[in-house]
Chain A
């Protein structure tokens, strides 16, 4: 059973390794992983699809939430969410089949991004199952080459993001100021 996890994390070196490390140290195989920065460039959003036994799912989410760089890890497998993936398909096709391929592409709302005498390069988005079907259909027309983006997911739940406030540490503010002034004199 695939678990879909959505993470909001700090955009820092090593953050990705911490998350994937949690999964690999338990021997879980990652099916897909996408990561990109958010509106706030200091943060990244990650979607992971991973094969996790149902009874350890909560534990995985809890462990991810414990990571210092992770602001929020959410299991979006069952909650209301939109899941989308992009696929690029190159299909080699005969002259006779070109129109048929284009018709099929249209059914899947795929776009032609390149057209040559040998065939087409097509781009389609949708939920991963729909893309599976699209790929199957294209395969029936000839040799294909496929690159999938991995799934991106957005929860439709209104989950509050709880962030920890700053903590006083090191020097007292007055002391720091004094030291700073002393240094610049």
Chain B
């Protein structure tokens, strides 16, 4: 009978296989040794990262690029605590990942054992749900529950903390066929009466405006969004998590809205009489001062998470449901009502579009260029030229993230990967690692600042280990740019700890890791340097020296209304 018995570690891997896991990003440690022993001759691929935080980001990159659950793994104590930032980041952006952490043997729990930490307690608020497994018999059920919770409803991170004795323990393994979570409610269909009323409200509006976000990407509903947008023919903004939700080249698409949104996006939001909010959460970076946000608008809010409805902005018409299911129904209702309702406000809608175009002409969002130096906006336009709206771009956090979101087009969902909610520096490079594993067919750029890059340099080793052909573009201005921008604008230009002062020689750095890198400073050398990076079969580290004092505009100062944008830097006064 002993052949029927499997170790907890093997049972875990069996369950992961059943969840179609192809790859785990992780780092071994004392209590996960039984798991790593089982992995030794198991078909699931393990990617050895260089820091557990990056395991969580790589799992996110994988999940963001595919929509499938990303998996990361760390040992007890420091391994698990290092995961926490990646978990909170996934929580904020609703990214489905499952994290597996080792825990000390259950008998030792609570004794301050070596590498013990209260992972279950620490990650309670960092996850959508977490589990502590102290009994090997519970393991299969828990693993399948974890994957279901991570991927369904509003996705998010789930952590499974497993004690060493569970990984080592033996049990008869019977595959789980169903799971039961009586308290876990997933609202997907949307109320049909509400959907019909929404359709009426939309046709009754004179200045409709679509504000869509990460929910569209999470639900794989970009086709459904496109159909809706075309039926209503409304101007559309996508949040920084929703880029690619409709193609950037779509005639209805404007830009991101909010703090660094375009003039058109923010004026549109301010003057619309109906916001169609789809898979968004009225984040403060989008709304600016909430009391002044979209003062003339009624709001139709579709979201799978009932707690988002009315959280920041009152919804005149709430629909709790999955945009993937709700949008086709809404489009169908709109089409049904079109013959009787569409013409009523046709003239007003025509005028609305003219207004939108006038705003665009007044303050177009075009990348700055200079003859003498590389403007970061120009760099983004060059990356955009090589991407053609098709490459994956994983960005870090800061000024370059905003410029990338403004000037790189994304014509498909799941191309633009960034830490939107938590704003975690050091995200870009490991996220690119996860994305390149998930999409070996894709050109992957890691667009990072010189600050964030230095938080994730260790992952260059992972990139080289696996010969990932990631194109790392360092947008190097010598500063923590967004910090400098705020100190300049709001702290009397007292630049406190904003200057980075030193940066490695990238040719030597990349060379030390065994791949190519170079620095480009001259504006006329930029296109060729980028082309060379892209045509290199392996990884490439391109350090681009951009104008050091460039700031991101338009900008809505914190606490300002979004139509009170600062459009451009104050012009130097002639003396």
Contacts and interface: CB of A to CB of B under 8 A. Distances in A.
B420 interface: no
Interface in B182-223: 182-186
Given A13-B132, A169-B176, A164 B186 contact: yes
Contact of A170 (B18, B121, B124, B183): B18
B4 interface: yes
B183 A163 contact: yes
A62 B4 contact: no
B16 to A, nearest CB: 11
A164 B177 contact: no
A165 B120 CA distance: 27
Interface residues of B, number: 38
Given A14-B120, A166-B178, 12 more contacts: A68-B149, A164-B180, A164-B183, A164-B184, A169-B144, A169-B177, A170-B15, A170-B175, A171-B18, A176-B177, A183-B173, A183-B174
Contacts of A62: 306-307
Q: Interface on chain A toward B: helix, strand, loop, or mixed SS? A: mixed
Given A65-B185, A69-B183, A170-B18, A184 B178 contact: no
Contact of B121 (A17, A172, A175, A179): A17
Nearest to B305: A66
A167 interface: yes
A160 interface: no
Contact of B132 (A14, A25, A162, A169): A14
B493 interface: no
Contact of B183 (A59, A70, A173): A70
Given A171-B175, A179-B174, A67 B180 contact: no
B148 interface: yes
Interface in A18-73: 18, 21, 25, 58-59, 62-63, 65-72
Interface residues of A, number: 38
Nearest to A58: B310
A183 B1 CA distance: 8
Interface in A129-183: 162-173, 175-176, 179-180, 183
Interface of A: 9-10, 13-14, 17-18, 21, 25, 58-59, 62-63, 65-72, 162-173, 175-176, 179-180, 183-184
Interface in B540-574: none
Contact of B179 (A65, A166, A173): A166
25 contacts: A10-B182, A14-B120, A14-B124, A14-B130, A17-B121, A21-B124, A58-B310, A59-B307, A62-B306, A65-B185, A65-B307, A66-B305, A66-B306, A68-B183, A71-B182, A162-B185, A164-B183, A168-B178, A169-B145, A169-B176, A169-B177, A170-B176, A170-B179, A176-B174, A176-B176
Nearest to A70: B183
A140 to B, nearest CB: 45
A167 B179 contact: yes
Contacts of B177: 168-173, 176
A169 B181 contact: no
Instruction: Please give me the 10 A-B residue pairs with the lowest Cβ-Cβ distance, nearest first.
Output: A171-B175, A170-B176, A62-B307, A163-B182, A166-B180, A71-B183, A176-B175, A183-B4, A169-B144, A166-B178
